[in-house]
Amino acid sequence: MVEEKQSGADWRPVYAELENSIKIRHYSPKTLKSYIGYTRQFQAFVKSKDAKLIVAGDVKEFLTWLAVKKKVSASSQNLAFNALLFLFRNVLKSEFGKIDGVVRAKRRPYIPVVLSRDEIDRILSLLPDPYRLMIKLMYGCGLRISECISFRVHNFNFDMGILTIHDGKGKKDRTVPIPEAL
């Protein structure tokens, strides 16, 4: 019979199973990196306690520690929660149930910064080519940086005035109109 350790347990099988579970579900590499990062922080927080001995109280204390001591943002705390939820459900094959009483990081109200047309024109006039064209495409078509740098000539349909983005966020394809000025 293998004895479960209160500290110093080997977590390599947990990480291997976590990586396999994420890859099987075709989650993005960024999700894999984030989930492994929060799992490492959690492992350090529980002092490498054997994974079989981890309980909901450990998760609650960790999430509270993130908010109070580490002062992480609300979105980072939510990401940590989702990482641990995934770990429990898909790797440790257990549920940690309802987590009540966790100190939640406060989400600040988001007030978007909107530049005037004049400010946009001034910024664009200062950019050298080809960056100016890239920024105009991003601004005019609502592209993400990763989408802008990955598309090719065949993504443009100038006859119809549309741009097709393949494998955008969430591995989804979408089409957007190309501004006539471009």
Q: What is the largest CA-CA distance in the chain?
A: 73
Please tell me the predicted confidence (pLDDT) of residue 106.
Answer: 66
Residue with tokens 């990763």: 146
Residue with tokens 């959690």: 42
The model scores a pTM over 0.85: no
pLDDT, one tens digit for every residue, the chain (182 residues): 445 566 677 889 999 999 999 999 988 899 999 999 999 999 999 998 888 888 888 888 898 898 888 888 888 888 998 899 899 888 888 877 676 666 666 667 778 888 898 998 999 999 998 899 889 988 888 888 888 888 888 889 889 989 998 877 777 888 889 988 87
Please tell me the predicted confidence (pLDDT) of residue 15.
Answer: 92
Helices (H), 7-107: 12-24, 29-45, 56-68, 74-86
Q: Which residues pair with 177 in a beta bridge?
A: 162
